[in-house]
Amino acid sequence: MSAAKATAPDGLRRAGRPGPRVTVGEGAVKPRPPKAAGPGEVRIVGGVWKRSKLPVPFSPGLRPTPDRVRETLFNWLGQDLAGWRVLDAFAGSGALGFEAASRGAAQVTLLERDATLASALRANLKRLDKDGTVPMAIENADALAWMRRAAPESLDLVFLDPPFAQDLFLPALAAAAPLLAQGGLIYLEAPHPVEAPAALGLSVWKEGRAGAVHYRLLRRGG
């Protein structure tokens, strides 16, 4: 190798430009922190709203259920939920609740404690349900408190996808189990398999894993 080529990259030497300079210590230019990033939007994967996109604002810890997991879940449940009474207890992006409504559920309630996310859910419902005929309710509410005062045996399906960092899995299961009719189902997402206490009368019907997410479909009454 010639001395000229070893001195600097050929393009920089010909242009007469110095190479990049890194300043360390006092007066150094600090890199800008990355902008807050969120899911942006989620896509409904089935039903009458199939391929519709739901805009989602940034919220710390928000982690919508991935498309492929929802596809698996609704293959388990069946694509037609006509007559089903459904609760999406920690709605977040609303992906699970909107999927159920898209597949014809008779009643869908979404609970979201964050006021900004709840407002986004209402806006998405208004955009999709232009004539206001879809039986869907969105409440800005604490999911555990709401479930603990709800009527027992009033639901066919409950989605539980609480914030992973808050470790609400067992309290959420305990609050949701009494709301199920016999044969009703709970879908639970967690960073590890969660075993429901025997006293709740729930058994694992289906289960899967996608990366760090473990998901289970539990049935009341065997």
Domain ranges of the chain: 40-220
Q: Which pLDDT band holds residue 61 (cuts at 50, 70, 90)? A: confident
What pLDDT does residue 58 have? 87
Q: Are 16 and 8 in contact (CB under 8 A)?
A: no
CA gap 120, 185 in Å, rounded? 27
Q: Quickly count: other Cβ atoms within 10 Å of residue 85's Cβ.
A: 21
Phi/psi region, residue 92 (left: phi>0; alpha: psi -120 to 50; beta: rest), is left
Tell me if residue 144 falls in helix, strand or coil.
helix
- Class of domain 40-220 as given by CATH: alpha beta
Q: Which pLDDT band holds residue 39 (cuts at 50, 70, 90)? A: low
Q: Which pLDDT band holds residue 222 (cuts at 50, 70, 90)? A: low
Give the DSSP H or E segment for 110. strand 107-111
CA gap 190, 183 in Å, rounded? 22
In whole numbers, what is the pLDDT of the chain averaged over residues?
Answer: 86
What pLDDT does residue 90 have? 97
Tell me the average pLDDT across 70-93. 96
Q: Quickly count: other Cβ atoms within 10 Å of residue 191's Cβ.
A: 13
128-181: pLDDT as tens digits:
999 999 999 999 999 999 999 999 999 999 999 999 999 999 999 999 999 999
Tell me if residue 85 falls in helix, strand or coil.
strand
What pLDDT does residue 30 have? 46
Using CB atoms within 10 Å of the CB of residue 2, give its burial: 0 to 12 exposed, 13 to 18 middle, 19+ buried: exposed
99-139: pLDDT as tens digits:
999 999 999 999 999 999 999 999 999 999 999 999 999 99
